[in-house]
Structure 1
Amino acid sequence: MVPPRFGNPFNLSNNATLAGCAALALWAFLAPLARLAQPLPPLLLTALGFAAGGVLGLAVLAARGRLGALRQSPLAWAHGVGGLAGYHALYFAALALAPPLEANLLNYLWPLLIVLLAAPILGLPLGPRRLAGVVLGAAGAAVLLAGGARFPAEAVAGFACAIGAALTWALYSVLSRRLLGVPTEAVAGFCLVSALLALAAHLGFEALAMPGPRQWLAVMLMGLGPMGAAFFLWDIGMKRGDPRLLGTLAYATPIASTLLLIALGEGVLTWQVAAAAGLVAGGGVLAARA
């Protein structure tokens, strides 16, 4: 995929920021698709999702005669694979070593970190309105995810992995802007290498499993959306759009995912969901107006 042309890179109306918003929308479907893929082990599901996204991306590159985009520097490969594979490895380790509710809450520090890191790394100003917006978004995520959360001392390793995952994804996202010379098409290669690493981890730590027709359908949908196109769109948004606004709007992803699960009969609409949606929407409006 070629990053679209754009005007003002810090305006919601430009194509690149909208591409990042599309990635956030696709990630909302990850949890429902993961439910559809049960009971596949998580590392195997990650490997298959990365592989599906990478193969589809590779097919597009081949059709466009752009396979040369995969020839990148070791730094670009370290950034791409380290971000994709490193984030997922730390996230799954957090879920294994800590209570999932608390691990997921700490993991969702990454949108806040993207906004905060945009200032020292990219030199982008923040301002009180933008900071207020991201704080409202973080509060919304806390209302949604933190009900009854406890942080026992014996799970400190898992909490550290969750924070590490958040920092890894934030750095991967913000530093993408420092690698403007790396075309978005290279993400296909990063996905394929990440798939191999996840497969190796599956073989080492999980019981072997074989997907059935329903699981293969979920894998293909993940490769088309949240573990395929979303990574390409996010790369465009981070490189050419406004990372501060995208970081704030990222808090809408867990809200949208929760609403999708409710629509599928996997939960009920509670005051926490409504309050979280209101806080995130208010934060998004503040950030967009900034």
Structure 2
Amino acid sequence: MSDKNQSRAMLLGGLAVFLWSTVATAFKLALEWLSPLQLLAWASLFSTLFLMGAVSWQKQWGAVGHFFRQQPLFALLLGVINPAVYYLVLFRAYDLLPAQQAQTINYTWALTLSLLAVPFLKQPLRRRDMIALAGGYFGALIIATRGNLLALDFDSIEGVVLAMVSTLFWAMYWILNTRATAPATASLLACFLVGTPLVWGLMAWQGELVAPTWQGLAGAAYVGLFEMGVTFMLWLGAMRSAVHVSRVSNLIFLSPFLSLVFIRYFLNEPIAPATFIGLAMIICAVIYQQRGGSEDAAVETAEPQNQR
């Protein structure tokens, strides 16, 4: 009997999108109590513990071990990128920028994917890709300058650069991840088993290894569970249950707009009109690019993670 159930898929997908929409707000709240490095260390620890439980439940420890034996250097590379480098850069960007800017600029990673597919996957850059890239990055510039394009007045040029750099690491991770031999949950745990100790070692070396407040710990737990843990499993379940995958995938475009609602009411951060305009341009660019014929393997693999 088929385990496909579109109603269940939409419910799981909707829950995943809802939870992903809260993480930008959670990042900013947690960063009031923790440094970017401390937040990453504690959040990655919670993610690792959750993923260990998920792998045990799925009986995939053999797949984790096989991945390390067959692709040790590759597993090390992926773990350095995610969670270590990517989230450290991203959290620093959130520390410097208003949440609405960091969140929406980070969303351009789906466009960055097509750029990196050229050297990594030897895929041609189509005319459609170039139009989408121009429109999406122009939208990011509108957001970063709050619409004041001529003055190029940024809240934090360092924060904008870091937010853009984070898209490179995230796109790179998912392109490289297409070469992983392990199942999705097992390969993700392998990355965290590599990256989490590295982050904790860096935190100790930087002298930031101190007991967090309960507020900081609670924020890190929320980020660790709902940025990659529980939400990842919900989305994976939605994909597996879906009769029409595209209908579930389209839910992801609700995430950045819903995220702005949380940012406005929980962070009391007024949403600039330029943010809506720029975000609309970015999403239109992503949709235009991905609906223009058959999608390449990297985009298909990465699309479920297009949440922030």
Relative to the length of structure 1, the TM-score reads: 0.69
After TM superposition, give the deviation of residue 253 of structure 1 in Å.
6.5
After TM superposition, give the deviation of residue 151 of structure 1 in Å.
8.5
User: Aligned residue for 2:265?
Assistant: 263
User: Aligned residue for 2:86?
Assistant: 87
Task: Decide whether the 8 Å contact of 2:43 with 2:223 is kept in 1.
Answer: yes
Which amino acid in structure 2 is aligned with residue 41 of structure 1?
S
Residues 1:149 and 2:149 aligned together: no
| Separation in 2, partners of 1:268, 1:159 | 19
User: Aligned residue for 2:182?
Assistant: 182
User: Aligned residue for 2:127?
Assistant: 128
| Separation in 1, partners of 2:122, 2:36 | 37
User: Aligned residue for 2:62?
Assistant: 68
Change (3 A) 1:288 1:22: farther
Relative to the length of structure 2, the TM-score reads: 0.65
- 1:52 pairs with one of 43, 46, 57: 46
After TM superposition, give the deviation of residue 70 of structure 1 in Å.
1.6
Residues 1:77 and 2:71 aligned together: no
| Separation in 1, partners of 2:227, 2:119 | 29
| Separation in 2, partners of 1:199, 1:270 | 37
Which amino acid in structure 2 is aligned with residue 192 of structure 1?
L
Deviations 1:130-181 (A, max 9, x none): 43234322222221123322888xx7xx9887665443332222122233x2
Task: Decide whether the 8 Å contact of 2:108 with 2:140 is kept in 1.
Answer: no
User: Aligned residue for 2:216?
Assistant: 215
Residues 1:35 and 2:36 aligned together: no
| Separation in 2, partners of 1:24, 1:125 | 31
Q: Give the SS at the match of 2:229.
A: helix
User: Aligned residue for 1:118?
Assistant: 117
Which amino acid in structure 2 is aligned with residue 183 of structure 1?
P
After TM superposition, give the deviation of residue 95 of structure 1 in Å.
8.1
Structure 1 gap segments, 5+ residues each: 7-14, 237-248
User: Aligned residue for 1:276?
Assistant: 278
Across the aligned residues of Structure 1 and Structure 2, the Cα RMSD in angstroms comes to 4.1
Task: Decide whether the 8 Å contact of 1:187 with 1:231 is kept in 2.
Answer: no
Change (3 A) 1:23 1:276: farther
User: Aligned residue for 1:204?
Assistant: 205
After TM superposition, give the deviation of residue 59 of structure 1 in Å.
0.6
After TM superposition, give the deviation of residue 187 of structure 1 in Å.
0.9
User: Aligned residue for 1:12?
Assistant: none
Structure 2 gap segments, 5+ residues each: 147-152, 238-250, 293-308
Of 50-59 and 115-124, the range deviating more from structure 2:
115-124
Task: Decide whether the 8 Å contact of 1:22 with 1:233 is kept in 2.
Answer: yes
Q: Give the SS at the match of 1:266.
A: coil
| Separation in 2, partners of 1:79, 1:196 | 14
User: Aligned residue for 2:241?
Assistant: none
| Separation in 1, partners of 2:92, 2:283 | 31
Which amino acid in structure 1 is aligned with residue 143 of structure 2?
L
Which amino acid in structure 2 is aligned with residue 80 of structure 1?
L
Deviations 1:27-47 (A, max 9, x none): 543321123323122211101
Deviations 1:169-228 (A, max 9, x none): 32222122233x232122113113322211122222244432333333322221221143
Aligned length: 257
Deviations 1:219-274 (A, max 9, x none): 222122114356678999xxxxxxxxxxxx99987665444211324211321122
| Separation in 2, partners of 1:76, 1:22 | 32
